[in-house]
Amino acid sequence: MKKRVLSALLSTAMVMGLLAGCGSSAADAPAADTSAGTEAAATTEAASDEGAAVAAGDEGSVFNIYCWNEEFKSRLTDHYPGYEEVDGTTGKIGDVTVKWNITPSKDNAYQNNLDEHLLTQADAAADDKIDLFLIEADYALKYVDTEYTMSLADLGITDEQLVNQYQYTKDVVTDSNGNLKGASWQGCPGVLIYRRDIAKEVFGTDDPAEVQKKVADWDTYKATAQEVKDAGYYMTSSVNDTYRTYSNNVTSKWVVDGKINIDDNIMKWVEDSKTMYDAGQIANTTELWSDDWSKGFFQDAKVFCYFGPAWFIDFSMAADTEGSVANAGGWAATEGPQGFFWGGTWICGATGTDNPSLVKDIMLKLTTDETIMTDIVKADNDFVNNKPAMAAMAADTNYKSAVLGGQNPLRMFCTGAESVDLSNQGAYDQGCNESFQNAMKNYFDGNATLDESLEIFYSSVEEKYPELSH
Amino acid sequence: MKQKAGRGNSKAVSYNKWGYIFLIPFFAVFIVFQFVPLVSTVYNSFFENYRSGLIQVGPNFIGLENYKTLFTNGELLTYTKNTLIMWVMGFIPQIIVSLLLASWFSDQRLRLKATSFFKTVIYLPNLIMASAFAMLFYTLFADGGPINLILMQLGILQEPFKFFSSIWGSRSLVALMNFLMWFGNTTILLMAGMMGIDPALFEAAEVDGATSTQVFWKITLPLLKPILLYVMITSLIGGLQMFDVPQILTNGKGEPVRSTMTLIMYLNNHLYSKNYGLGGALSVCLFIITAILSLIIFKVSGNDKKAR
Amino acid sequence: MEQNMNEKLDKGLNIKTRRLIAYIVLIFLTFLCLFWFYVLFINATRSNGELKKGFVPIPSTHLIENWKNLRAGILPVWQGMFNSLIVSTLCAVFSTYFSTMTAYAIHAYDFKLKKPIFTFILAIMMIPTQVTALGFVQLMTKMKMEDSLIPLIVPTIAAPVTFFYMKQYMESTLPLSIVEAARIDGSGELRTFNHIVLPLMKPAIAVQAIFTFVLNWNNYFIPALILHSDNKKTLPVLIAQLRSADFLKFDMGQVYIMIAFSIFPVIIVYLLLSKFIVQGVALGGVKG
C-alpha cells in the first residue's frame, strides 16, 4: 500500500470518490433519491425473460462483481434489463445470483482486496471467482496489462460494436499488445471553466469564443494570467489545477526501459506553475478538494478559472449553495489550452469467469446500446461514452447548463473527448503522478530546490515500484 | 510482598501448573492468528520479495542485501530522527500535563471541584476517529482557515501562515494532534494507578505535615512506578511506531520535504508494492531499536529485577 | 492543623494560587478537548456546498436534511452500528479478560518458563504490526474466515499491550497474600481468579476495556479488507464507503453526520466505564 493507501485523509478519499464518478446531476436533485426512485420502476418493467435467456446454458449460478461504491450497482439496477435487487449486496439476473463485493477505495483497500482475489482466482471455487470488476483510469494498466483481465475479443465483442465509443476511453484499457480489455459507459472530457464577471472586467467580454483566444495555448494562457493578476485576481486556485491538462498530453511514458522518465510536458508544468505561482498569478499550492482550493467556487473569492469535466461543473462547484458563483450561473466554459479528461469507471471481465456471456452482455448493453445510454444521460445526467447520443444532446438547443449561465457546453466536451490522446499511458501512472505533484509542492513552496524535489520524487517512486531506477 | 512463603514444595508445583494453564488462551490465539505473519516478517527480510502491479517478483534469497540497502541510502537515519523529534514534541508536554493533572486530582488538599467532569473530558478527543480528527484539523488550519484568520485579526500574523507547507508547522500539528489524542489516555492510566494506592498513606502523610510536593514525589511517584514504567515503555513503542497521525495529517506523504515521514510511514511506502523483503528488514531494525531503548528504560528504572 | 503560623500562611497562599492555576489549566484543556465536538457538530449541520466554503463557527440548517439523505441512501447505518457494537464489545471483553488471565499467570505463579515468556510477550509488543496486516488477511482468506466478524474479535485475546498493563497494575496493587488466603480457604485457582482477582482489577479492566473498545470502534484497515457484505460492515468501513461515493451521491454533509452518529455510542460506553476510573472504585480490600 503506498502512501495513499493507508492514508485516511479527507482529501485523498474525496479525490478517489470524485474520480469514481463521472456523473452530473441537476443541482437540486438530492443524489441519493435519484437511484432509489427510479429503481423500483426499472426493475418491475425489466423483469422480462430477456435476462433469463442470457444466463441460460451451463454457466455459473453466482456472478461476482468487485467495485468500490454503489455507482455501477445503480446503473445496473436502473438500466440493465432483467436485473432485480434482492438486498444491499445481492441481486438476481434470471437464475444467476449477482453478488456485490464493495470495498471502499480509501487507503487502497479496494485494490488490495481485488489483488488478493485475482491472484487466487485460479484456485477459487467457481462460485467465488470474480466475474467482473471495475477500474479507474489512473491504475487501469496495472490490471489491463495482465492475463487477469479478459480481452473483449475473447468475450466475443467486436471492434464494430464499439465504434461509437470515444477513442480515449479505449486507449485507457488497451494493453501493451494492443488488445482492448475493458469498456466504459462514461466519458469525462474536461474544459476550462471561467468566471464571466471577471472575464468581462478584464477582457471586456465573457463570450467563450473570445475568451478561448486568451487561453488558446500555454503561452497566451500565461500572458492572460498576468492580465488577470494585474486586475487583482488569480488565474487558478492551485498549481495542481492544470496538472491533468499537461499530464494527459505527454509524448512519452513515465517509465522507459525500467527507468523513470519525466516527460517534457510535465517539466513544462513545473516551470510554468513555478513562474506563475512566484508571480502571484496562482493562489496557492494546496491539493485539489482542500478548503483553500474550493473557496474559489464562491463569489467573494478571486479565482478566475478551474479545469474540469461535466460532472465537476454540475456537481462539485457548490451550485446548490447560496453565494457560490455556480448558484448564480456565473461560470462559462471554453476548450482551454489542451484537451484532457478527469474520472470515469471502466468495466473489465476477469479471466476465469464462469459467466463470460453475462459479462459480455452487461458490457454491450451498458457501453454500446444507444437506447440504454441515452436513458443514462436522461436519468443520471452522465456524459456517456457514445458519440451519436452525445452529438444529439450537443445539438439540442433546449439543453442548457444553469451553472454556465445557460450555455450548452456539450459540443466542447465532445471536441475534448475526441482530442484526448492517451497512447502514452502506462501502468505506473497513478503512483508517478501522485508522487510528482507531492514532491513538486516542495519546490513551489520554496522548501526545496528543483533538484532536491526531483530527488524526493525519485525516491518516492522507487519505494512504490522497487523495480524502477533513475 | 515477596512471592509465596516457604510452603510445601509439592503443593507449590501443583499450583504453578496453573501458570501454564492460564497462558493457554493467549498462546493458542497468538499461534493461530499472529505467529505465521510474524515469523514470515523476519524470514522475508532475507529475500527479494515484492509485487510489481500484479506480478510477483521473488522470493529470491539475497542474504543481508535488504539491510544493506536500508543502511546505505541514509534514509533510515533521517526517518528515525523525524520520528524521535515528533515523538518528543508530543510526549514531553503529554507526560508533564498528565503527571500534573494526576497529581492535582489526587491532591487531597487542593480540593478541586468538578474533578469527575475534568477527568471525564480529557479522554474525549480519543473517541474521534483519527481520520475524522484530521479532517477537522484541515479545515481549521487551512491557509484561509479560522486559526489563521484569528491570528491575523489579533495582529499576531501579517499574512496567513501555511501550516502544511512549513516543516515545523507540520511537525507541530502532528505533535499537537498526538498530544490531544493521547494525554487523556496517559492521565487515565496514571489515575487508575493512583487509585490503587492505599488512601491511608496519604492521610498519614498529611498528619505528618508533608507538603503536596513531598507527597507527590515521596509517595505517589514511587508507588506509581510500575504504571509509569508501562506508560514510558508503551509511549516509546507507540512513538517509534508513530503512524496514523502524521500519515493522515500529511495525506500519507510525510511532506514538506519528507520532514514528517516516520519510520512506519516509510515502511508503509514499501508495502504499496507488497515489498515484504525490505519491509521485513525495516521491521526487524525497528524492533531492535525499540528493544534497546526499552531495555535502557527498564535498567534505568531498576525494574528489571522486579520483573522476575 | 498543628503547624506554626508562618508555614500555615505560606501554605494557604500557595494553595490558593495553585488552585487557581489548576483551574485555569483545566479549563483551557477542557476547551481544547470539547472544541472538536463543537466543530464536528457545526459541520454536521452544513450542506455539502456550504462545507466547501471552509469552516464557519455558526451552525447551519441542514442537520435533519443530512440525516434524511443518509437514511435515504442504501448504507445500513443501524446494522453498521450493531456490528461495530458487537465487535468492539466482544473485543473489549475478551481482550481484558484473557489479558488479565495471562498477566495473572505471570504474576502469581512461579514456573520455569516464566521469565522467557514474559520477555517474549514484551517483544511481540515491539514488532510493528503494519507488515503483518496483509499476511493476516491472506491467512484469513485461507482459513475461510472472510466476510466474518470472527477474525476481528478472536485475535484480541492475545493483546500484549493490555497484558503488559495488567501485569504492571498487579505489581503495584495485587498482593499475593490475598491469593494465598483464598487457597487456604480452599478456593480453586480458576475460582480465585474469577471471583477474587478480577474484582480487584476493576479499575485496570475498565481502563483497558475503554481503550480496546475505542480502538476497535475506530478500526478501519483490517475490517475494510475482511468484510465485504454491506450488512456485515462496521461503521468506519461504511464511512469510508460514503466518502468514496460517486459524484451523484457524494455529500460531505452526510459524511459528517455519519461521523457524529458513530461517535455517540462510544461516548456512552466511555461515560459508563469511566465511572470506574473517575469516581473511584474503593480499593480498600487491597492492603499489603
Whether pLDDT at A156 is above 80: yes
Range 404-443 of A in CB contact (< 8 A) with B: 427, 431, 438, 441-442
H helical segments located in B196-275: 199-207, 212-214, 221-240, 244-249, 263-270
Range 249-288 of C in CB contact (< 8 A) with B: 259, 262-263, 266-267, 270-271, 274, 277-281, 283, 286-288
Residues B110 and B167 in one domain: yes
Residues C200 and C81 in one domain: yes
The CA distance from A220 to the nearest CA of chain C, in Å, is: 31
Q: Which of B119-133, C20-34, C244-258 has the lowest mean pLDDT?
A: C244-258
Residues B145 and B284 in one domain: yes
Interface test with A, best of B49, B149, B264, B272 (most A CBs within 10 A): B272
| Sequence-distant (≥ 6) Cβ neighbours of residue C183 within 8 angstroms | B15, C192
Chain A hits for C221, CB-CB cut-off 8 Å, are 6, 107, 109
Domain annotation covers residue C211: yes
Last residue in a domain, options C47, C63, C79: C63
Model confidence band, residue C12 (pLDDT cutoffs 50, 70, 90): low
Q: What are φ and ψ of residue A139, in 5° steps?
A: -120, 15
Residues C101 and C32 in one domain: no
Last residue in a domain, options C48, C63, C78: C63
Per the CB < 8 Å rule, is C128 touching B142? no
Q: State the pLDDT at residue C224.
A: 84
Q: State the pLDDT at residue A34.
A: 35
Residues B4 and B120 in one domain: no
Mean pLDDT over B29-58 rounds to 86
Domain annotation covers residue C286: no
Mean pLDDT over B254-265 rounds to 88
Residues C40 and C135 in one domain: no
Residues C167 and C225 in one domain: yes
Question: Residue C212: which of C81, C95, C85 has the closest Cα?
Answer: C95
HEC letters along A284-346: ECCCCCCHHHHHHHECCCCECEEEEEHHHHHHHCCCCCCCECCCCCCEEEECCCCCCECCCEE
Residues B26 and B153 in one domain: no
Residues B30 and B125 in one domain: no
Residues C184 and C74 in one domain: yes
Sorted by where each starts, the structural domains of chain A and their CATH numbers stand as: 3-187+344-384 (3.40.190.10), 190-340+420-464 (3.40.190.10)
User: Cβ of C206 under 8 Å from any chain B Cβ?
Assistant: yes
Model confidence band, residue B305 (pLDDT cutoffs 50, 70, 90): very low
More confident call, C277 vs C153 = C153
Whether pLDDT at A11 is above 60: no
Q: What CATH number should be reported for the domain holding residue B125?
A: 1.10.3720.10
Per the CB < 8 Å rule, is B16 touching C109? yes
Q: Which of A147-156, B233-242, C8-17, C104-113 has the lowest mean pLDDT?
A: C8-17
Residues B21 and B104 in one domain: no
**Backbone Cα Rg of chain A:** 22
Per the CB < 8 Å rule, is B251 touching A448? no
Domain annotation covers residue C45: yes
Residues B51 and B155 in one domain: yes
Domain annotation covers residue C204: yes
Number of folded domains that form chain C:
2
Q: Which residues form the domain of B105?
A: 45-301
> How many H-runs (helices) and E-runs (strands) does chain A carry?
22, 14
Residues C77 and C57 in one domain: no
- Contacting chains of A (3 CB pairs or more, <8 Å) are B, C
Whether pLDDT at A333 is above 60: yes
Range 3-32 of A in CB contact (< 8 A) with C: 6, 8, 10, 13-14, 16-18, 20-25, 30-32
Domain annotation covers residue B180: yes
CA distance A209 to A231: 21
Residues C247 and C223 in one domain: yes
Is the CB of residue C232 less than 8 Å from the CB of residue C149?
Answer: yes
Domain annotation covers residue B296: yes
Residues B216 and B234 in one domain: yes
The pLDDT mean for chain B works out to: 84
User: For residue range C153-191, what is the model confidence (pLDDT) as tens digits?
Assistant: 999 999 999 999 999 888 877 888 888 888 888 888 899
ipTM attached to this prediction: 0.83
Domain annotation covers residue C287: no
Last residue in a domain, options C16, C48, C63: C63
Q: State the pLDDT at residue A54.
A: 44
Residues B60 and B99 in one domain: yes
- DSSP designation for A160: G
Residues C42 and C117 in one domain: no
Residues B112 and B202 in one domain: yes
Domain annotation covers residue B246: yes
Whether pLDDT at C81 is above 90: yes
Per the CB < 8 Å rule, is C243 touching A14? yes
Mean pLDDT over C54-60 rounds to 83
User: Cβ of C3 under 8 Å from any chain B Cβ?
Assistant: yes
Q: Which of A222-231, B127-136, B187-196, C192-201 has the lowest mean pLDDT?
A: B187-196
Residues C195 and C273 in one domain: yes
Residues B127 and B236 in one domain: yes
Chain B hits for A66, CB-CB cut-off 8 Å, are none
CA distance A390 to A397: 13
Q: Which residues form the domain of C87?
A: 69-280
Residues B32 and B90 in one domain: no
Whether pLDDT at B97 is above 90: yes
Residues C242 and C188 in one domain: yes
- Its pTM stands at 0.84
Q: State the pLDDT at residue B271.
A: 82
Domain annotation covers residue B307: no
Strands A62-67 and A130-136: parallel
Domain annotation covers residue C285: no
Domain annotation covers residue B49: yes
Per the CB < 8 Å rule, is C245 touching A70? yes
Model confidence band, residue A276 (pLDDT cutoffs 50, 70, 90): very high
Nearest by CB to C139, which of B17, B37, B129?
B37
Q: What CATH number should be reported for the domain holding residue C155?
A: 1.10.3720.10
Residues C261 and C238 in one domain: yes
User: Cβ of C130 under 8 Å from any chain B Cβ?
Assistant: yes
Number of folded domains that form chain B:
2
CA distance A375 to A380: 8
Domain annotation covers residue B308: no
The pLDDT mean for chain A works out to: 84
Chain C hits for B100, CB-CB cut-off 8 Å, are 25
Chain B hits for C133, CB-CB cut-off 8 Å, are 37
Q: State the pLDDT at residue C279.
A: 56
Residues C232 and C214 in one domain: yes
Written as one letter, the residue type at A363 is M
